[in-house]
């Protein structure tokens, strides 16, 4: 007698987005464990490579998450969107489809006199799109094996300390808004430890 199997449910776009964000959070924790000296490979160069590998994965996850938030229009323009792997190219393509695709960081909601909650604009430094591209390139430089015949310095200028890159990424994502084509928005809270749940539906801006 053959046993029937239930089809595996396909996650919806908000669930895909939240899974990307949860993985971002977990990888940022790994970076923190190295910068706080709670974890080490035992070799300084290997620690640096481990950190920048995690940061590059984080950037790619942010790009893929942005893709899931705008999948319908993006896939219509790029039939092979599932095979995209270069985060810089993906950001450029997403911007062509939706100029507001990039996460917009906001502060904690503040209740107004009329009872409506307002999300203030973040005043601190966060990972802007230009920072994203710069860090992505720097991660690649760190992770690629050094050419033994090059005259270039072995020191790679990554512009900011790793702790500052971490802070910029966290400020970008802690509470952020995703703008979807058609006026809908997702408000995403990235908690420090507990699982993320899609509590806020996409809503059309007034």
Is residue 170 situated within a structural domain? yes
Q: For residue range 38-57, what is the model confidence (pLDDT) as tens digits?
A: 999 999 989 999 999 999 99
Supply the pLDDT for residue 206. Answer: 45
**Residue 120: CB atoms within 10 Å:** 10
Is residue 84 within 8 Å of residue 92, measured between CB atoms?
no
Q: For residue range 174-186, what is the model confidence (pLDDT) as tens digits?
A: 999 998 877 888 8
Range from 5-19, 57-71, 132-146 carrying the lowest mean pLDDT: 5-19
Q: What predicted TM-score, i.e. pTM, was given to this entire model?
A: 0.82
Supply the pLDDT for residue 104. Answer: 94
Query: What DSSP line would sit under the chain, residue for residue?
Result: -PPP-PPPPPPPHHHHHHHHHHHHHHHHHHHHHHHTTS---SSHHHHHHHHHHHHHHHHHHHHHHHHHHTHHHHHHH-TTGGG---HHHHHHHHHHH-TT-S-EEB---EE-TTS-EE-PBP-S----HHHHHHHHHHHHHHHSPPPTT--S-S----SS-HHHHHHHHHHHHSEEEEEPTTSEEEEEE--SSSPP---S--EE--
> What is the Cα–Cα distance from 16 to 94, expressed in whole angstroms?
17
Domain coverage including residue 63 = 13-145+157-204
Domain count, the chain: 1
Is residue 152 situated within a structural domain? no
Q: For residue range 109-129, what is the model confidence (pLDDT) as tens digits?
A: 888 888 888 888 887 799 999
Residue with tokens 């928005």: 185
pLDDT band at 75 (very low <50, low <70, confident <90, very high): confident
Is residue 3 situated within a structural domain? no
Is residue 7 situated within a structural domain? no
Is residue 66 within 8 Å of residue 135, measured between CB atoms?
no
* Residue 146 predicted with pLDDT over 80: no
> What is the Cα–Cα distance from 94 to 76, expressed in whole angstroms?
12
Is residue 6 situated within a structural domain? no
Supply the pLDDT for residue 10. Answer: 44
Is residue 79 situated within a structural domain? yes
Is residue 133 situated within a structural domain? yes
Is residue 151 situated within a structural domain? no
């Amino acid at each position: 007698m053959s046993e029937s199997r239930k089809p595996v449910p396909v996650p919806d776009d908000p669930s895909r987005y939240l899974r990307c964000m949860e993985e971002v959070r977990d990888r940022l924790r790994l970076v923190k464990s190295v910068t706080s000296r709670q974890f080490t490979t035992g070799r300084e160069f290997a620690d640096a490579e481990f950190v920048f590998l995690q940061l590059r994965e984080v950037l790619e996850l942010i790009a893929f998450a942005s893709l899931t938030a705008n999948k319908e229009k993006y896939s219509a323009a790029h039939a092979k969107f599932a095979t995209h792997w270069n985060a810089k190219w993906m950001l450029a393509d997403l911007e062509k489809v939706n100029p507001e695709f990039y996460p917009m960081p906001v502060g904690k909601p503040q209740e107004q006199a009329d009872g409506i909650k307002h999300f203030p604009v973040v005043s601190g430094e966060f990972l802007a799109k230009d920072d994203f591209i710069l860090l992505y390139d720097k991660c690649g430089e760190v992770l690629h094996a050094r050419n033994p015949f090059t005259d270039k310095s072995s020191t790679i200028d990554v512009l900011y300390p790793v702790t500052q890159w971490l802070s910029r990424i966290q400020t970008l994502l802690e509470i952020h808004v995703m703008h979807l084509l058609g006026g809908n928005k997702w408000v995403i809270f990235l908690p420090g430890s507990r699982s993320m749940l899609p509590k806020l539906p996409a809503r059309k801006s007034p």
